[in-house]
Amino acid sequence: MNYNKKSIEDIEVAGKRVLCRCDFNVPTKDGKITSDKRIVAAMPTIEYLVKKGAKVILCSHMGKPKGEWKPELSLKIVADRLSQLLGKEVIMASDVVGEDAKAKAAALKEGDVMLLENTRYMKGETKNDPELSKELASMADIFVNDAFGAAHRAHASTAGAADYLPAVSGYLVQKEVSIMGKALANPERPFVAILGGAKVSDKLNVINNLLEKVDTLIIGGGMAYTFLAAQGYTVGKSLVDNEKLDYCKEMMAKAKAKGVNMLLPVDTAVAASFPNPIDAEIPVEYVDCTAIPSDQMGLDIGPKACEAFAAAAKAAKTVVWNGPMGVFENPTLAKGTIAVAQALADSDAVTIVGGGDSAAACEQLGFASQITHISTGGGASLEFLEGLELPGIACLQDK
C-alpha cells in the first residue's frame, strides 16, 4: 500500500465545497457527550479549512442505527459542541443527502461549517452504495478523509465518495499514515513490536506480518499462555486457544528462521480465578511461567517479564505496542501494562501505541505526552499492522 498520500495542504480549497469525513462517534450518556476527544482531534483540519475559506460540509457516523433514524444517535449534540469549540455556529442538517442537507450545502458561504446527520441513518452507508456515494459527492467539490478510526471500512462516506471527487487526507489521517506507514515500511532499527490482549486469534495476521519486519517481537497478555502451552508447558487454568497451538509453533519456528528475537513472559501473576467483579481486590502470587499451578490462572506478566520487556523497549529505535499485558481493568493486574507504558514513555525511540486498551493505559497513566503517536483507530490500526490495505486511505490521491 502506498502511504504517500496528498493532504489538505496539497489542494486548493478556497471557495470550494469540501465534504470532510470525521470520526464523531463519541460516547454519550443521557443525551450528553461523555468524552469529546474525537471532536477535539478533528479541530485542526476543520480550522484549516475554515481559515482557507472553504465551505465545509462535515459528516460522520455515530453508533449503529443500522439504516434507521434513531433520535438518540443524532449528531445534533456534536454540532453544538463543535459550535462551542469553533466559536461560531455549525449549521445542522436534518438529513444526510435529502432536501435540507442539499439546500444548506448550496447556501454555504466561505468559512461556513455544516454537519450532516448520522451517515448510518442511510441503509446504503455500510454497503458502500454507489448511489449514496454519488449523492454525498454531489454536494461538494473535494472529499477529505479525516476519520482514521473508520478508514478500514469501505463505506459510502469513508471511501465511496472518493470515486466521484478528488480525495485527500485531513491532518489526523495524514499523521497516522506518515508515522505508522514509515514505522512499518522503513523503521529505524532495532524495531520492537509488543503485542498483548486476550486471544491469539485476534492477532493471527498481525503476528505473521510483523515477523517479516521486526527485530524483536514481544508477546504478553492472555495470548502468551497459548504460546507457552505450544512450547509444552502446563499453564493451569490460564486462557489457552487450543486450536491455535500449531499456529503458535509455526510462528515460533518462523521467528527462529528469520532471526527475530521472540520474547515471551518468564513469570506471571496467578490467581485462583478471573476477578469478579473486575476491579475487586484479589490475592495474586508470582510464579515462573514453567511452573503455573494446575488450579491457578495467569492474569498478568510478572516482575521479571516486566524488566525484560522494558529493557527491550528501551534499547529500540522504533516501538509499536498494541494490547495490554494483563487484565488491565483491575489495578492489581495492571502492573505489566503500566511497566510497558512506562518503558515507552522513558524511551528515546519512535513510540507508536495502537488499540483501545493500550492507548487508554497511556492516557490514564499520564504518559500520552511522552509517546510519539497514539493511534485514534483501534480496528484500523490493527489492520494497518496486518499490512492490509485500508479502503479509506487507498481511495486518496497519491502525491
State yes or no: pLDDT of 185 exceeds 90: no
Q: What sections of the chain are H helices per DSSP?
A: 37-51, 76-86, 99-106, 130-138, 171-185, 204-210, 224-230, 245-258, 303-314, 335-346, 356-364, 378-386, 391-394
> Do residue 247 and residue 378 come from a single domain?
yes
User: Looking at residue 224, which CATH number applies to its domain?
Assistant: 3.40.50.1260
Per-residue pLDDT averaged across 20-38, rounded?
94
pLDDT at residue 121 in the model: 98
State yes or no: pLDDT of 285 exceeds 80: yes
Kindly state whether residue 395 falls inside one of the protein's structural domains: no
> Do residue 212 and residue 131 come from a single domain?
no
State yes or no: pLDDT of 346 exceeds 90: yes
Kindly state whether residue 123 falls inside one of the protein's structural domains: yes
In the chain, how many domains are there?
2
- Give the catalytic positions in this structure: 38, 199, 356, 379
> Do residue 235 and residue 99 come from a single domain?
no
**Could you read off the pLDDT of 323-333 as tens digits, one per residue?**
999 998 899 99
> Model confidence at 303, in pLDDT bands (50, 70, 90)?
very high
pLDDT at residue 178 in the model: 87
**Could you read off the pLDDT of 46-59 as tens digits, one per residue?**
999 999 999 999 99
> Do residue 205 and residue 116 come from a single domain?
no
> Do residue 126 and residue 205 come from a single domain?
no
Q: Which three cell numbers stand for residue 240?
A: 489457552
Domain termination site, one of 117, 136, 171 = 171
Instruction: Report the percentage of the chain scoring pLDDT > 70.
Output: 99
Domain termination site, one of 171, 204, 219 = 171
Kindly state whether residue 394 falls inside one of the protein's structural domains: no
> Do residue 269 and residue 354 come from a single domain?
yes
pLDDT at residue 354 in the model: 85
Per-residue pLDDT averaged across 103-115, rounded?
98
> Which residue shows C-alpha cell 500500500?
1
> Do residue 192 and residue 117 come from a single domain?
no
> Model confidence at 376, in pLDDT bands (50, 70, 90)?
confident
> Do residue 320 and residue 243 come from a single domain?
yes
State yes or no: pLDDT of 2 exceeds 80: no
38-56 core/surface letters (b: 16 or more CB in 10 A; e: else): bbebbeebbebbbebebbb
State yes or no: pLDDT of 314 exceeds 80: yes
Domain residues for the domain of 16 are: 8-171
Per-residue pLDDT averaged across 241-251, rounded?
96
